[in-house]
C-alpha cells in the first residue's frame, strides 16, 4: 500500500460506516434489538475489515505493516508512566472542545454502564485499542511513510484517527493522541508500545467512569448536588472554565515531563535518531508528489461534512 491507497481506504471506511449504520437501523426497526456487546464489536470492524481487504488486495505483508517487535519490561513501565503524564494535556483539549460541542463519551456512557465492568473494560480498553492501533498506527501510518516524510505521515494518520470518531469532541483529542502514539511508536520501535498506551488511556477512563457511578450510588445526595450545577449553559461553561484553570498548569508540567520520558525511552531503545527525524525529516520523502492529495481532500470533505451536519 501507499499514501494514495491509504486515503482511499478511509473513504471506504466512511461509506462502510454509513452502510453498517443503515443496516443496524433496518435490523432494529424490522427484526429486533441488537445486543450492546455485538454492537460495540461491530463498530471496530468498520475500520478493520476495509484495512484487511486493502492489505490483501495490495499483496502487502502484515509483518511489514505492523512491526510487532518485542519490548522490554522496563519499556512497558516507562510507557505506562508516559501515558499518565500525557493525560492532563488530553483532558485540557477535551474540556476546551466542550464549550462548543457535547462530551461524546459522557453522552454514550449510560449505554456502557448497562454492561458489567469486565465486559466494558474488554471492549473499550483491549478490543478497541488493538483494532485501532493495527489500522491507524499499523496499516495507515506505515503506508503513508512509504510516500512522504515521517512528520507528514504522523500528521495525516492522526487526522484520520481523529476524523474516524465522527464527532468534534473526540476528534480533537484523538488527533492529539494520534500524534502522541506515533511518537511512542518511533521511540519504542514497536506497535506493542502504542497498543499499551491506548490500553492504559482507555482503561483508566473506564475505571473513572465506573468509579463515578459507584460514588453516585454510595453518596446520592452528593450526586444530586453535582447534577444541579449543570442546570444552565452558563453554569456548565463556568464549571468547564474552573476545571481548565486547574488542568492547564498541571498539563504544562506533566507534558514537559512526558517529553523527557519519551526521550529517555528512545535513548534506552537506541532510537533517539528516529525520534529526532520526525521533525528533521519533515520535508523529505516526496516520492509520488501530490498524488495522495486528492483522496485526502475527499476524506476531509466527507468526514467534516458529516460531522458538521450532525452538529447543525
Residue whose C-alpha cell reads 512497558 in the numeric block: 76
Q: Which of 156, 110, 109, 121 is nearest to 137 (CA)?
A: 156
Question: Which pLDDT score, from 0 to 100, does residue 113 have?
Answer: 82
Q: What is the pLDDT of residue 222?
A: 53
Looking at the chain, how many residues does it have? 312
- Residue 171 is placed in which grid cell? 476528534
Q: How far apart are CA 194 and CA 133, in angstroms?
A: 7
* Domain residue limits at 297: 3-311
Looking at the structure of the chain, the number of domains it has is: 1
User: What pLDDT shows up at residue 58?
Assistant: 84
Tally of CB atoms within 10 A around 229:
11
Contacts of residue 306, defined as CB under 8 A and 6 or more positions apart, other chains included, come to: 14, 166
Distance CA 59, CA 82 (A): 36
pLDDT, tens digit only, all 312 positions of the chain: 777 788 888 888 888 888 888 787 777 777 877 777 888 888 889 999 999 998 888 888 888 788 899 999 999 999 999 999 999 999 999 999 999 888 888 777 777 888 899 999 999 999 999 999 999 999 999 999 888 889 999 999 999 999 999 899 999 999 999 999 999 999 999 999 999 999 999 999 999 989 877 877 776 665 555 554 445 778 888 999 999 999 999 999 999 999 999 999 999 999 999 999 898 877 665 555 566 778 888 889 989 998 998 887
Neighbour tally for 38: CB within 10 Å = 10
Looking at residue 228, what is its pLDDT? 47
Separation CA 8–CA 14 (nearest Å):
10
Q: Residues 6 or more apart from 219 whose CB is under 8 A from it?
A: none
Residue 231: the pLDDT is 58
Amino acid at each position: 500500500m501507499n499514501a494514495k491507497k491509504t486515503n482511499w481506504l478511509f473513504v471506504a471506511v466512511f461509506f462502510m460506516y454509513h452502510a453498517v449504520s443503515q443496516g443496524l437501523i433496518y435490523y432494529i426497526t424490522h427484526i429486533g434489538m441488537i445486543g450492546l456487546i455485538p454492537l460495540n464489536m461491530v463498530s471496530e470492524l468498520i475500520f478493520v475489515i476495509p484495512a484487511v481487504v486493502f492489505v490483501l488486495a495490495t499483496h502487502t505483508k502484515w509483518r511489514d505493516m505492523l512491526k510487532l517487535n518485542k519490548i522490554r519490561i522496563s519499556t512497558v513501565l516507562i510507557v505506562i508512566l508516559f501515558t499518565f503524564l500525557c493525560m492532563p494535556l488530553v483532558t485540557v483539549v477535551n474540556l476546551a472542545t466542550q464549550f462548543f460541542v457535547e462530551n461524546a463519551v459522557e453522552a454514550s456512557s449510560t449505554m456502557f454502564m448497562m454492561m458489567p465492568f469486565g465486559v466494558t473494560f474488554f471492549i473499550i480498553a483491549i478490543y478497541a485499542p488493538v483494532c485501532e492501533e493495527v489500522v491507524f498506527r499499523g496499516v495507515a501510518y506505515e503506508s503513508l511513510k512509504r510516500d512522504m516524510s515521517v512528520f507528514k505521515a504522523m500528521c495525516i494518520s492522526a487526522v484520520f484517527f481523529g476524523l474516524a470518531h465522527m464527532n468534534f469532541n473526540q476528534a480533537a483529542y484523538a488527533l492529539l493522541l494520534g500524534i502522541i502514539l506515533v511518537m511512542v511508536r518511533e521511540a519504542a520501535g514497536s506497535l506493542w508500545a502504542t497498543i499499551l498506551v491506548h490500553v492504559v488511556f482507555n482503561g483508566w477512563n473506564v475505571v473513572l467512569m465506573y468509579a463515578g457511578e459507584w460514588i453516585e450510588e454510595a453518596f446520592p445526595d452528593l450526586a444530586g448536588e453535582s447534577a444541579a450545577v449543570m442546570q444552565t449553559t452558563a453554569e456548565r461553561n463556568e464549571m468547564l472554565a474552573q476545571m481548565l484553570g486547574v488542568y492547564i498548569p498541571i498539563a504544562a508540567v506533566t507534558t514537559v515531563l512526558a517529553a523527557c520520558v519519551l526521550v529517555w525511552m528512545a535513548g534506552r531503545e537506541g532510537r533517539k535518531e528516529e525520534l529526532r527525524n520526525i521533525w528533521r525529516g519533515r520535508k523529505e520523502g516526496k516520492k509520488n508528489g501530490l498524488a495522495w492529495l486528492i483522496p485526502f481532500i475527499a476524506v476531509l470533505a466527507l468526514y467534516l461534512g458529516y460531522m458538521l451536519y450532525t452538529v447543525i
